[in-house]
Chains A and B, each alone.
Chain A
């Protein structure tokens, strides 16, 4: 057998002692998975972190619709990334499945966490424990074409404050502006409509998705009213015919054609419009409800969490807490015209030059996100009860029947 020499033994002992002394650990590289639609925002944060820290973070972009499969497979195989940024609506399912690390004792005690939008704090909690926080938010807003408003005889500085006004404005645009439509929505996209139509319902007081088989679903004011408004606009041809078949591909593109008066959209639209259509005069407003003051929005975007079994959970926690600091929120997000997840930073120096960013950032504070298990089944699936309800109500004209059928289907799914 080969015996180690004295020099080798001393060298090994020295290495061991270095590893055991606190504070002398080598710099690590952490892996962060982000879905493709939020990877640009995530990269800004990572670049800022990497520029100021010894430990580095590497981004792996995952196709949006593969995130659930990849995370589930990685957790089951034990080969998980250190951090994961994903669509916040999956948070309840992932927490319930035990995929995520409990951050209650660390992140829960962080004073910055209390300043994060309520929707993120709610969605990241399960059974009184905290599993993540906001990372790269987006929020739904009403996007409107000011030039079309002027042509229709509407005041471009007064967007609709109620769904009644929205309907009246859309009808007026259809009537007064040739080749223009008053409103647009993607009629075959469940996710697009929970983002843009649902806030008009829950802002008015409605409860949409049930958390259990006997919890309220599609109850309260707003559901029938919003569906009726959409039906009226469809029947009056104030919505283009192509809306019925749009699976989300034209969710934003149709407004870019300059023929749409108003559309529910997301905060991302401001930068996209300014970059692609610098000459188009557009405005931003909160999504209205039945009455003035019912304005609301859907707080979407990504949460950040640590998958169970992550190798560098402590460092990953440090990153999560760091990304909530003023420096990260302002220099990593706001500076790049991306919404911060902390509501106290909505009105920041970078947004001052364009009030439309401030309006959008403030919508994060008034917005909600439905807390539901089986969200995909209820909403996102290509023939989900939510989508079927909208299609039946708007395109077939049976509002009451559509709501009734969707309520039953929601309860059946929630009871699983």
Chain B
């Protein structure tokens, strides 16, 4: 091949060459570990040894593992409860703070602040705030008359779930708010002005203009939130420890228990693959819905 041929070939494959570094990165850090995970899931690998090929034994065992499915069901419940809270509150805060005036900007900064705190630290903070004997949260609830005496939050599954939802909402609400603010600010201002001239009040503008035109951002934020909730671990590990009686184990918590407490890496890998597939299916559905939504 002559010089001209080389140049032509390079031009033809220029796009591929540009994405090659990114492809190599994804291949090395995502695809290759995923392949290894699949390989491990087909063995009886333990932290203490093993590694014999066992076919799909781990998968068939997983389908009979009631604790895993119970954990998955609890994770789904958690996701269903926390997602509307995060979306609704996040959107409401975005409406309140979307203008670029100093007060709104400062408020945005304050609300976003907990996002930069590690989830482990924030969970530990809330664990003590909810403590029956020294918890400030309990004291406030008693002082304002909502509770007659300090509550033990982590002996009832619903109370434990509410406690975790409160802590996570405080921790991540700023992230959703920021995405919504970006969405709202990207709406052409002339549309709102036209609605104002036509006599549309504030709520009509929110309902008929801002909400529909933010739908793609809402779906994207929902997708991120749902995936994050389905992978919940630290908050339950630190705040509930799976209690009461293992009823607040999440899927990832159960995978952790099997992999690093029971040392069953092969089985833990199989559970991880199953969870990945479940999340992938639901995420794909959301992406399809997202693509059908109107754009500006």
Contacts and interface: CB of A to CB of B under 8 A. Distances in A.
B242 A383 contact: yes
Interface string A171-202: 00000000000000000110000000000000
A376 B261 contact: yes
Nearest to A254: B133
Contacts of B222: none
A72 B261 contact: no
Interface stretch (A33-41, A125-133, A241-249): A241-249
Contacts of A94: 48
A382 B47 contact: no
B188 interface: no
Interface residues of B, number: 26
A102 to B, nearest CB: 17
Nearest to A244: B155
Interface in B115-149: 127, 131-133
Interface stretch (B5-13, B102-110, B244-252, B286-294): B244-252
Interface in A356-400: 374, 376-377, 380-383, 388, 391
A247 B131 CA distance: 12
Given A241-B132, A241-B152, A383-B67, A97 B48 contact: yes
A35 to B, nearest CB: 15
Contacts of A5: none
Contacts of B243: 188, 245, 247, 382
A388 B152 contact: no
Contacts, number: 73
B152 A97 contact: no
Contacts of A242: 131-133, 152
Is the contact region of chain B dominated by helix, strand, or loop, or is it mixed?
loop
B48 A72 contact: yes
A24 interface: no
Contacts of B253: 382
A188 B133 contact: no
Contact of A382 (B133, B153, B241): B241
A353 to B, nearest CB: 33
Contacts of A189: 241
B257 A381 contact: yes
B49 interface: yes
A93 interface: yes
B241 A381 contact: no
Considering residues A68, A188, A381, which has the most beta carbons from chain B within 10 angstroms of its beta carbon? Answer: A188
A257 B244 CA distance: 24
Contacts of A381: 257, 261-262
B208 interface: no
Nearest to A90: B48
Interface string B230-273: 00000000001111111001000100010011110000000000
A245 B155 contact: yes
B154 interface: yes
Interface string A247-271: 1011000100100000000000000
Interface residues of A, number: 31
B152 A244 contact: yes
B252 to A, nearest CB: 13
B48 A93 contact: yes
Interface string A185-223: 000110000000000000000000000000000000000
Given A188-B243, A247-B243, A383-B249, A68 B152 contact: no
Interface in A221-249: 240-242, 244-245, 247, 249
A69 interface: yes
Residue of B48, B127, B253 with highest tally of chain A CB at under 10 A: B48
A244 B160 CA distance: 13
Contacts of B257: 381-383
Contacts of B246: 382-383
A99 B46 CA distance: 13
A274 interface: no
A250 B132 CA distance: 11
A241 B155 contact: yes
A257 B262 CA distance: 35
A94 B127 CA distance: 34
Contacts of B242: 382-383
A96 interface: yes
> Max chain B CB contacts within 10 Å: which of A240, A244, A391?
A244
B261 A377 contact: yes
Contacts of A377: 261-262
A250 B127 CA distance: 11
B261 A97 contact: no
A97 B133 contact: no
A383 B261 CA distance: 11
6 contacts: A65-B260, A240-B132, A244-B152, A245-B155, A245-B243, A383-B67
When A and B form their complex, which 6 residue pairs have the shortest distance between CB atoms, in order from nearest?
A247-B241, A245-B154, A383-B246, A97-B48, A382-B242, A72-B47
Given A68-B47, A376-B261, A381-B262, 18 more contacts: A93-B263, A99-B48, A189-B241, A240-B132, A240-B133, A241-B152, A242-B131, A244-B244, A247-B241, A247-B243, A254-B133, A376-B263, A377-B261, A382-B242, A382-B249, A382-B261, A383-B245, A383-B249
Interface of A: 65, 68-69, 72, 93-94, 96-99, 188-189, 240-242, 244-245, 247, 249-250, 254, 257, 374, 376-377, 380-383, 388, 391
